[in-house]
Structure 1
Amino acid sequence: MIRTLGFGLPRLGPHREYKRLLEEFWKGGLSKRELLQGLEDLEAVRVRDYRTRVDLYPAGEMSLYDPMLDLAVALGLYPVPAGDLEAYFALARGKGALPLRKWFGTNYHHLVPRLPERPAYTPNPAWFPYPVGQGANPEGLPTLIGPYTFLRVAQNPPEEKGVRAHLEALLEAYRALLAPLAPQGRPILLQEPALGLEEAEAHLPHLLDLYRSLAEAVPLVLLSYYLPPAPRVLEALAQLPMRGLAVWFHPHQPPPALAPGTAPVVLAVEGQGVWRTDLLALRERLLPWLEPLLDDGREVILAPKAPLFHLPWRVSEPLPPHLEGRLAFAEERLEELRLLKGLLLGQGDGEAAAWYTPPPIWDFQPSSPPPPRPPREVRHQAQGALGLPRFPTTTIGSLPQTQQLRELRLSLRSGRISPEAYEAEIQRAIQENIRLQEELGLDVLVHGEPERSDMVEFFAERLEGFYTTQRGFVLSYGSRVWRPPILHAPPRRREALVLRETLYAQSLTPKPVKAILTGPITLAAWSYLPEGVGFGEAVLALAEALREEVEDLKAHGIRVVQVDEPALLERMPLRDQDQPGYVRLVQEAFHRVVGGLGPGVQVHLHLCYSDYRALRPFLEAMDPDVVSVEGARQDPAFLSELQGLPLGIGPGVFDVHSPEETDPEEMLRRLEVYLEAIPEHALWINPDCGLKTRSPEEALRNLRHMMEAARRLRARLAAKEE
C-alpha cells in the first residue's frame, strides 16, 4: 500500500490571513476570542487543502507565534496560564523576549528557550494539544517538535554528560503530554530535524532509549528532514517498533531494514525549492528501490523532503513564458505527491509528462577576483579622515517603512504615478531621514531605504536573471513575511542598485553616508536558486553583479560601504567537514564585492539573529573594518569569542523586533557590559538591526535614548581620564 503525507503547509494562509489576524490583535482591533476563531477558520482552510491531495497530514501545526515557543510553554519552562495570550506574546515580542535564531539553515526565525539548570520539566497540559486547530482537524496526526531537537536548539544545550538526564526528563514530560491522546490510537508525528546533526551518533544510546519508550506509549511516526541522519543512526532507529520512520531516498543505497510494521516515510519530493519535479524520471529511479518493500506487503508513505512552510502557498499569478508551468509552491508539492503515488501505481503518465519542463543551461563564468584590500594599519590610518568620535553611532540601514511609503510603491507598480513623481517623493523621504539623523547627532548616516520593499527583493528587481513574484509570500517570524525572488538565469546589473539614492543622501550632509548592499550570501540564501545550480555558483555570480555597483560607488567618492549578510551563519553547513569550504566561499565572495575599494573607504559588515560562537573564522577571513551584530536578545558572553579581533564591533543596544521602549540607563548598562570584551577604541553604538518594522514614534524614542546613552558613556569615560 502506498499513501502520501503532507506537512508544514504554510500557516500564513493563501492570502496572508495569519499575518493580518496577529497584527490586528496586537493593535487591539481583535478580541482574544476573535483571534482564536480566525486562526481556527484558517486551520480549516489548510485542512481542506491537505484532504484534497494527500492521505495523511498533521494536526496542531497552527502556532500562535512559533512552534518552539508553544513547546516551551507546554513543557512548563515559562509559566503561562491557560488562555493568557498576553503572557505568551510577551515571550515573543515583549521586553525581555526570547532570542531569535535561524531554523536549521533556513530564513525562518524561531524563538530560543532556555533549559532549566536542573533537568526537570513541569508539563502544562493547557498548552498541548495547542490551543488552535484541534477542532478543525480531528483526524490529523497530532504533531510536535521532538525532545532531541528541542534540546539541541535551546539557548543552553547541555554538555555531553547532561544529555541523558535532560532527555530522560523530557521523555517523562512528553509522555505526560501525549497520554491523553494514547487512547485515540492516532499516530503521533514527532518532528526531529536534529537527528541529521553530527552529534546525534554520539547520543545514539540515549536516543534509542528515548524513542523506544515513546513508541511504547503512543504509535510513533519519527520524521527527520533537512539532513539525513548518519547511516548508523538510521540503521539503529530502523530496528525500533514504530508506526513510521523517515527514510531518505538514495538510488544507489537500499532502504534500511525496518522493524516489522514500520512504514518507511520516503522523502521524495522537494520541500524548499520551487522547480517542479521530473516525476517520470523520479518514478524510474524510485520504483526499483521500493519494489522489495511493496512486494513484502509493507506500507510506504511518500512525503516532501522538508516542511512546506518554506514555500508560498500556491502559484497564483500570471508568470512570464520562461517560467510558465515550471514552478511548484506548497500546494503544488502536495499535488506532486498525488501524481507520484499514481505513477507508482501505474496511473497518470500523460499528466506527469506534462508536469515538467527541463531547465535552460546556466551559462556563467566568474571573472578574475580583485586584488586584496590594503593592510588593516593602512586602512585605519586612511579612515581617520572620516573624523569619527569615540564610540561612533550609526543605524543599520532601514528607517521605518510607513504606510505612505508602501502606498507610494504600490502606486508606482500600478501606474497611478509616474517614475519621476515617485523619485521626487523618495528624495523627499531621504531628505527627512537625513535631517532627523543630523538632529539626533548620529555620526555615520543612512539614507533610510524608503525605496526598498525588502532587502533581497529590491536588489532582485534591479538585476537581470531574477523573477520577483507579486503574491509569493513566506513567513520569516511572527507575522513578518517576505517574497523570495526566483533566480532563473545568471544575474547581471540592469541598473544602478544603491548609487542614486546614496549619492543624493550624501549631497545633503557633510557627514559620511553608508552605501548599503545586501551581500551575495544573503541574496542567494533568501532566493530560490536555479534548478541544478549549486549555492556556491550562485553566490559568485551575485558577487560579480555587486562588484560592478561597488566600482561605481568608489568612482563617486562614497566613503562608507556596508554589506548586509544576515544569512551568513544561517547558511553555514551543519556538518563540520563542510564548514572550511564554506568559509572559503564567503571569503572569496566578500572580497569580490569590496576588494577593489581603497584604504580610505570604511567597509562594514552586518549580520543578526545567529549563534555568534561560530563567527570568528568568518571575520578573520573577510577582514571588514567594522562589524555590527544583534545583541539585545543575546547573552553578551558571546562577545568573548570575538576578543582580540582588530576591527570595530557594534553589538545592538536595543531590540528592533519589539515595540517596547528601552531607556538610556538600560542601554548604558549594556554598553558597559560590552566594554568588558571590546576595547574602547573598537566599540560602535547602534540598534540590533534595521528599523523598518517599527513605527516612526517607536524608532525615534529608542534612537534618542541610544544617543543619550552614547553621550553619557563618552562623558563618563572622559571624566575618568581627567
Structure 2
Amino acid sequence: MTSAHILGFPRIGAQRELKFAQEAYWRGEVSEATLRDTGSDLRARHWALQKQAGLDYVSVGDFAWYDQVLNTLALLGALPARFGFHAAELTLADYYVAARGNPQHFAMEMTKWFDTNYHYLVPEWTADLNFDGGVNWLFDELAEAQALGHQAKVTLVGPLSLLYLGKVKNGLSHSLDLLPKIIPAYQKLLARLQQAGVEWLQIDEPILALDLDAEWLNAFPLAYTALSAQTPKLLLATYFESVKDRAELLHSLPVAGVHLDLVRAPQQLPALLENWPQGRVLSAGVIDGRNIWRADLSSLLKQLQPAHAQLGEQLWIASSCSLLHVPVDLAYETALDEESKNWLAFATQKLTEIVALKQALNGNATAVVTQFDAAESAILSRRNSSRIHNMMVKKRLAAVTAKDAERHHVFAERIGKQQQRFQLPLFPTTSIGSFPQTKTIRQARAAYKQGRLAHLEYLEAMRAEIRLVVAQQERLDIDVLVHGEPERNDMVEYFGEQLWGYGFTLNGWVQSYGSRCVKPPFIYGDVYRPEAMTTSWSEYAQSLTSKPMKGMLTGPVTMLQWSFVRDDQPREATALQIALALRDEVTDLEKAGIGMIQIDEPAFREGLPLKRKDWAAYLDWAVRAFKLCSAGVKDDTQIHTHMCYSEFNDILPWIAAMDADVITIETSRSDMELLEGFGEFAYPNDIGPGVYDIHSPRVPRVAEMQRLLQKARSVLPDARLWVNPDCGLKTRDWPETIAALENMVQAAKLLRATVTADEEHQDCC
C-alpha cells in the first residue's frame, strides 16, 4: 500500500506558542523547564495531527529551539569553538548565545535557506572541529514520540548539505576537508537511531538541486557508501528544484528511497522513473509546502497514477518540502470570507490532502470522494471569481515602455544635484526605517482595528510615537531621519492591506528566524493602489524637522517574495503590477516634498532561481520591476534601497543595474566580508554597510564600529560611504537602540574627524 508522510511540520504553534515562550525565557520571565514544556506540548500536538490525519509516519527532528541547522551542529558537537562551549554539556542558554550573541560573543552569521524567507545559522568550519557529539535532544524527542505510540520518521540535515552551507574560517582550504571527520560522526548518530528502533531516516540533501561542481558531486557516493551500513533505511530528500540532471547519481547511491519536489519541478518525474532501482521508495512531493492554495487533487491523482502503476507500494505521497514555510491551521481563520477561505490550505489541511491522494491510489476512492469534489469546486470557484481580474490594471501594464523604467540622468549627474539639495556631511548617518515596536504601539493598533480606539485617537497615538522617534534622532544627531513606522504591523502586510488583489489572515504566521514570525498576505488577483498609503505619515514626520526625512516603502520583489503568490499567471506579471502601484506612491511622496525615498528589497537575492541557467530571466524582470517603481522622480530626489541576509556578490551587476542612489546592506555578522565584492566590482553608487547587528541584543562598542568602518573604507571611496545599522530596529528595545545608535553616531563623527585631520595634514605638509 502507498504510504503518506511529510518532510516536516511548522514548529511555532498555531498561536505562536513557541515564540512567546522563547521571548519570555530570554527576558527571564519563565524558566527553562517552562520553555521545554511548551516545546514538548507542541511536538505532541503536531504528532497527533499527523497521526489523526492518517499519515503513516510522524516527523521527528523537525522541531528546533531556533533553527534546524543550529540543532544539527549542537547534535554533532560542532558549534564554533570561539564560544568555548563544552559540546556534551551544551545548555539551552548556550545554544541561544550562539544564535543571538551576548556582550562577550558575536552571534553566528545568519542567511536565507535557499530561496525562502527562512533564515538559518551559518556553520563556521575550522580545522579544530572534531564532531565528537553533543546534545541528546533529538533522542529525547524520539523517545517522546515512541512513548506516545507513534511510528517516527526522523529528519536530519545531511552531511554534505551541512558542509556546503557553512563558511570556511581558520585552518581549512575547503569545507570538504572536514568530510573525514563528519562522516564518522553521522555514522554514530545513525547507528544510535537504529538501536532506538527507527525504521526510516529522512536525510535532507537540498544542495543536490544546485549547480554543483565535480568535487561536491563525487563526495556523494563516498559519503553515502560509508553511511549505508548499520543504519535505518535512508530516504534521501531533495527539494526546491529539479534534480533531473542528477538522475544517474541518485540511482547509484545506496539509499532506500529518494524524495523529489514535484511541485517546483513536476517535469523531472519521467526522467527519474527511468531505470528506477528495484525496490527503492520514491517519495513524491506533490502537495505544495511553500504556498497556501488548495491542491487540485484530481489533476495530481492523474499525474501520480503512472508512477503508482510502476512502483506500487514503493510510491509514497508527501509534501514537496517541509511545511515549515506555511501557516499551521486554517481553522483559526475566523474572519476570512468563505469564498477566499475555501481556496486555501494550511499545513494541517495539507496533511488531509496528502492522505486523500494516498487513499485514492490505494483503491479507497469512495472514502475521499467528498474531498476530491470539494477540491474541484474550490479550484473552479477561484478560476471563475470576478475578484481575480482587473482590466484597468492589465491595460496599464500592457502600455508600459522601456523608458518608464529609466531615471532622467545617470547617477554621476544626479548625485551632484542631491548633494547640493541635502548638504550632508561625509559618512552620513541614518537608520533603515523602523524603530522599536513597543507594547503600547501594538496595543493601540489592535484597539484601532477592533474598533475600540477612534480614528482621531489612533492618529494622535501614532503621531506621538513619530514625534518621539524624530526627537530621539535629532538628539542623537543622526543626519537622515526616519519616522519609525509605528503604524506598520509588517513591511509587507501593511502595504498589502491597502492594495486591491491582496488577502489577509488573522493567524497565518510563519517562522522567519528564531522567534521572529511573519504573517504573509496572499495575492489572489490583479494588484492596484486605490489611494496613497504612506504620504500623510511621511509628510507629518518631515514637518517636525529640518533634516531630510526618508519616505519608506517595501519594493515590488519583496512584496512578491514575502507573500503567498497567485499561481495562475507568471510571477513577473504580478511583480510588475505591484511596481506600478508603488510607482504611484513614490511620485506622491515626491509631490509631498519628501526628497529621499527608500524602497526596500531585502528579498531581491532570495528570489534568485537555484539554477544559474534561470538567473537571467528572473533578474531581468526583478530589476525592471524595481526601476519601474522608482524611476518616475526628479534627479534631486534620492532613491534608497535596503538588502539584507543574502549573498550578493554573484549578482552585483544586476544590483548596480537597479540604479538606486544609495543601497544599505547587512554586513556586520560577516565582519564586512559581504562588502568586499562591492569593492572589487567597483560598485558605482553610494553604499551603507551595516555596522552593527540588530538581531542581537548586544550593544556594540564604538571601537567595534570604527573597525568595521575602516574595513569599509579599504574597499569603498569615502564619498560613497554611509553609516547605518544592519536592518530595521522594530524588534529591539529602546535602551539598547539608543545606546547602539549613540555609539554609531560617535563612530561616524570620529571617522570624519580623522579624515579631516589627515586632509589638513596633507595640505600643510
TM-score (norm 1): 0.96
Pair 1:323 & 2:340 matched: yes
Q: Summarize the Cα distance change of 1:333–1:674 in structure 2 as closer, same or farther, 3 Å threshold.
A: same
Q: Summarize the Cα distance change of 1:631–1:203 in structure 2 as closer, same or farther, 3 Å threshold.
A: closer
Total equivalences in the alignment: 717
Q: Could you list the runs of 5+ residues in structure 2 that have no partner in the other structure?
A: 80-84, 761-765
Q: Summarize the Cα distance change of 1:185–1:69 in structure 2 as closer, same or farther, 3 Å threshold.
A: closer
Contact 1:70 1:127 in 2 (8 A): no
Partner residue of 1:353?
373
| Secondary structure of 1:136 counterpart | helix
The alpha carbon displacement at 1:570 in A equals 1.1
| Secondary structure of 1:469 counterpart | coil
Partner residue of 1:426?
462
Partner residue of 2:82?
none
For 1:627 and 1:100, locate their aligned partners in 2 and report how far apart those are by CA, in whole Å.
20
Partner residue of 2:100?
93
Pair 1:573 & 2:609 matched: yes
Partner residue of 2:763?
none
The alpha carbon displacement at 1:172 in A equals 1.5
Contact 2:476 2:745 in 1 (8 A): yes
The alpha carbon displacement at 1:73 in A equals 2.4
Bigger shift: 189-198 or 475-484? 189-198
Partner residue of 1:697?
735
Amino acid at match of 1:617: P
Contact 1:74 1:123 in 2 (8 A): no
For 1:605 and 1:629, locate their aligned partners in 2 and report how far apart those are by CA, in whole Å.
9
The alpha carbon displacement at 1:205 in A equals 2.7
The alpha carbon displacement at 1:647 in A equals 1.3
Report matched runs for 1:520-539 at 5 Å: 520-539=556-575
Partner residue of 1:12?
12
| Secondary structure of 1:203 counterpart | helix
For 1:212 and 1:548, locate their aligned partners in 2 and report how far apart those are by CA, in whole Å.
59
Amino acid at match of 1:327: L
Partner residue of 1:372?
406
Bigger shift: 210-219 or 336-345? 210-219
Identity fraction in percent: 34
The alpha carbon displacement at 1:646 in A equals 1.9
Q: Summarize the Cα distance change of 1:230–1:253 in structure 2 as closer, same or farther, 3 Å threshold.
A: closer
Report matched runs for 1:203-602 at 5 Å: 203-218=216-231, 219-231=233-245, 233-249=246-262, 250=266, 253=270, 255-294=273-312, 298-315=313-330, 316-318=332-334, 319-346=336-363, 347=365, 348-356=368-376, 357-358=378-379, 359-360=382-383, 362=389, 364-365=394-395, 366=397, 367-369=399-401, 370=404, 372-373=406-407, 374-384=409-419, 385-602=421-638
Contact 1:59 1:134 in 2 (8 A): no
Q: Summarize the Cα distance change of 1:135–1:408 in structure 2 as closer, same or farther, 3 Å threshold.
A: same
For 2:127 and 2:531, locate their aligned partners in 1 and report how far apart those are by CA, in whole Å.
55
Pair 1:33 & 2:33 matched: yes
For 1:527 and 1:627, locate their aligned partners in 2 and report how far apart those are by CA, in whole Å.
23
Amino acid at match of 2:2: I
Match of 2:145 among 136, 145, 155: 136
Contact 2:307 2:315 in 1 (8 A): no
Deviations 1:480-499 (A, max 9, x none): 10100011111111331211
The alpha carbon displacement at 1:133 in A equals 5.9
The alpha carbon displacement at 1:179 in A equals 2.1
For 1:157 and 1:177, locate their aligned partners in 2 and report how far apart those are by CA, in whole Å.
26
For 2:611 and 2:361, locate their aligned partners in 1 and report how far apart those are by CA, in whole Å.
34
The alpha carbon displacement at 1:58 in A equals 1.9
Amino acid at match of 2:400: S
Contact 1:198 1:230 in 2 (8 A): no
| Secondary structure of 1:87 counterpart | helix
Q: Summarize the Cα distance change of 1:247–1:606 in structure 2 as closer, same or farther, 3 Å threshold.
A: closer
| Secondary structure of 1:302 counterpart | strand
Report matched runs for 1:115-194 at 5 Å: 115-117=125-127, 121-127=130-136, 129=138, 132=141, 134-137=143-146, 139-156=151-168, 162=174, 165-183=177-195, 184-194=197-207
For 1:237 and 1:217, locate their aligned partners in 2 and report how far apart those are by CA, in whole Å.
20
For 1:520 and 1:541, locate their aligned partners in 2 and report how far apart those are by CA, in whole Å.
8
Partner residue of 2:124?
114
Q: Summarize the Cα distance change of 1:372–1:159 in structure 2 as closer, same or farther, 3 Å threshold.
A: farther
Bigger shift: 497-506 or 369-378? 369-378
Structure having the larger proportion of residues in helix: 2
The alpha carbon displacement at 1:630 in A equals 0.8
Deviations 1:316-338 (A, max 9, x none): 21322430311001011111011
| Secondary structure of 2:125 counterpart | coil
Deviations 1:359-398 (A, max 9, x none): 3355535141415211122201110211100100000000
For 2:56 and 2:171, locate their aligned partners in 1 and report how far apart those are by CA, in whole Å.
41
The alpha carbon displacement at 1:343 in A equals 1.7
Q: Summarize the Cα distance change of 1:244–1:96 in structure 2 as closer, same or farther, 3 Å threshold.
A: same
| Secondary structure of 2:144 counterpart | coil
Q: Summarize the Cα distance change of 1:680–1:526 in structure 2 as closer, same or farther, 3 Å threshold.
A: same
| Secondary structure of 2:687 counterpart | strand
Q: Summarize the Cα distance change of 1:137–1:12 in structure 2 as closer, same or farther, 3 Å threshold.
A: farther
For 1:648 and 1:496, locate their aligned partners in 2 and report how far apart those are by CA, in whole Å.
29
| Secondary structure of 2:544 counterpart | coil
For 1:340 and 1:324, locate their aligned partners in 2 and report how far apart those are by CA, in whole Å.
21
Amino acid at match of 2:561: A
For 1:158 and 1:350, locate their aligned partners in 2 and report how far apart those are by CA, in whole Å.
60
Amino acid at match of 2:253: L
| Secondary structure of 2:553 counterpart | strand
The alpha carbon displacement at 1:350 in A equals 3.2
Amino acid at match of 2:160: Y
Partner residue of 2:113?
103
Q: Could you list the runs of 5+ residues in structure 1 that have no partner in the other structure?
A: none
For 1:196 and 1:474, locate their aligned partners in 2 and report how far apart those are by CA, in whole Å.
24
Deviations 1:573-592 (A, max 9, x none): 11111112222112211111
| Secondary structure of 1:253 counterpart | helix
Deviations 1:694-722 (A, max 9, x none): 01111111111111111211112212222
Amino acid at match of 1:650: G
The alpha carbon displacement at 1:234 in A equals 2.5
Amino acid at match of 1:652: G
Aligned alpha-carbon RMSD (Å): 2.0
Deviations 1:668-689 (A, max 9, x none): 1111111111111111010110
The alpha carbon displacement at 1:160 in A equals 13
Amino acid at match of 1:23: E
For 1:133 and 1:510, locate their aligned partners in 2 and report how far apart those are by CA, in whole Å.
61
Deviations 1:256-276 (A, max 9, x none): 433333111111111111111
For 1:270 and 1:200, locate their aligned partners in 2 and report how far apart those are by CA, in whole Å.
29
For 1:136 and 1:203, locate their aligned partners in 2 and report how far apart those are by CA, in whole Å.
35
Deviations 1:122-170 (A, max 9, x none): 2324346365564235531222100111122112399999465433332
For 1:691 and 1:96, locate their aligned partners in 2 and report how far apart those are by CA, in whole Å.
18
Amino acid at match of 1:372: E
Q: Summarize the Cα distance change of 1:443–1:133 in structure 2 as closer, same or farther, 3 Å threshold.
A: farther
Report matched runs for 1:48-59 at 5 Å: 48-53=48-53, 54-59=55-60
Deviations 1:39-71 (A, max 9, x none): 112111111111112112321221121111111
The alpha carbon displacement at 1:4 in A equals 0.1
Contact 1:241 1:262 in 2 (8 A): no
Deviations 1:380-424 (A, max 9, x none): 111021110010000000010000000001001110011121111
Q: Summarize the Cα distance change of 1:447–1:70 in structure 2 as closer, same or farther, 3 Å threshold.
A: same
Bigger shift: 398-407 or 197-206? 197-206
For 2:230 and 2:321, locate their aligned partners in 1 and report how far apart those are by CA, in whole Å.
26
For 2:348 and 2:371, locate their aligned partners in 1 and report how far apart those are by CA, in whole Å.
17
Pair 1:197 & 2:191 matched: no
